Every structure is written in C-alpha cells, then in structure tokens.
C-alpha cells in the first residue's frame, strides 16, 4: 500500500514544508534548553581566586575554588561569612559552550552599599558554560550591607529564554 508518493510536486512541497517547520521548532544541539539544579543550600567558601567581572555598585564577582556543601536548605541565616547558592548543569547538547546569564534578584528593598546613593535590586553576569558540565553560582555575605532579609532568586537565562531558577529566604536572627 502506498501512503505518500514523493513524485507529485504537491507531496514534495508538503514534505519540505514539514521538515522546515520541525527544524525551526527543534532546539539546536548547541543551544541551552534548561537548567538542572542538583544541589542547593549553604556552602563553605573555598579559596578566592580573584574577580571575574566588574563590580556592580560595590557588589563584587569573585571566582572561588573548593566550595563545600554543608546543608541542603532554602532558609539562609543572614550572617557575615555565610555562603549559599546552587550547583547546576546547563541542559542541551553535550560539550558545547554557550552563553548563560545568571541573574541574582535581591529582596524588594534591594542592597544599599553605603558608598552608593541608589540600592541594587538585581545583579547580572554572563558567562560561557559547557552544556552538560557542572557549574556553581553562589553569594557570600562579606559585608553587613549585603545582609537583607527576604527572597533572593538565582535565575538562569539563555538569550530571552529563562532556563530555570532557585529561590532562598534570607532570615536575620532575632535581636536579644
């Protein structure tokens, strides 16, 4: 039984159009399709290797080695020296390098560095990441002005597409 003949011009046009439509919808092997967050919580910061991006209103971007996972939690104590964040994999084809933008949204009141007149509500950095590779993004309370209670959100973007997010609630200890 013959289902479709490719000999007719109409059938060839239909098949070509179908392949074009499928090809334009399917993600490329070199494209980020999502983020798998496989570990989150509180970490012990390792050695600071240096800054990898310019500071944003005093908010520094540092590269660190040897982050050790201490506790899986989304409730973070707002204390100097506490580090929290996520380990993740950018999903898509394996091994290709793609740009990924990490957006850290601070609580609605923002962070107010005393050296700058305006609060910082969001911080963004774009880095090349390997699809399928292990990556890490975190924040450490290095200065008292960084400790703001509320919801902190790590978002991961590829172009205008949000790949995933993780939220934490920073709480401050009661004053006794």
Name the H helices within the chain: 9-25
Segment 22-45 shows an average pLDDT of: 79
Question: Which domains are present in the chain?
Answer: 27-171 (2.60.40.2390)
Does 1 have pLDDT greater than 90?
Answer: no
In this prediction, residue 132 carries a pLDDT of 94
pLDDT in tens, 63-116: 788 899 999 999 999 999 999 999 999 999 888 999 999 999 999 999 999 988
Token pair, residue 135, equals 């990556």
Does 166 have pLDDT greater than 50?
Answer: yes
In this prediction, residue 30 carries a pLDDT of 82
What CA–CA distance (Å, rounded) separates 1 from 12?
A: 19
In this prediction, residue 10 carries a pLDDT of 39
């Amino acid at each position: 039984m013959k289902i479709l003949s490719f000999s007719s011009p109409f059938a060839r046009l239909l098949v070509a159009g179908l392949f074009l439509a499928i090809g334009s919808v399917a993600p490329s092997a070199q494209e980020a399709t999502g983020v798998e967050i496989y570990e989150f919580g509180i970490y012990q910061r390792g050695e600071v290797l240096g800054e990898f991006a310019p500071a944003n209103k005093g908010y520094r971007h540092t590269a660190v080695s040897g982050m050790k996972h201490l506790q899986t939690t989304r409730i973070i104590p707002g204390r100097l020296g506490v580090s929290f964040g996520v380990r993740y994999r950018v999903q898509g084809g394996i091994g290709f390098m793609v740009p990924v933008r990490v957006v850290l949204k601070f609580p609605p009141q923002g962070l107010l560095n005393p050296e700058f007149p305006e609060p910082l509500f969001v911080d963004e950095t774009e880095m090349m990441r390997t699809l399928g590779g292990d990556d890490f993004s975190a924040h450490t309370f290095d200065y008292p002005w960084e400790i703001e209670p509320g919801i902190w959100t790590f978002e991961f973007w590829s172009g205008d597409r949000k790949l995933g997010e993780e939220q934490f609630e920073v709480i401050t200890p009661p004053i006794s």
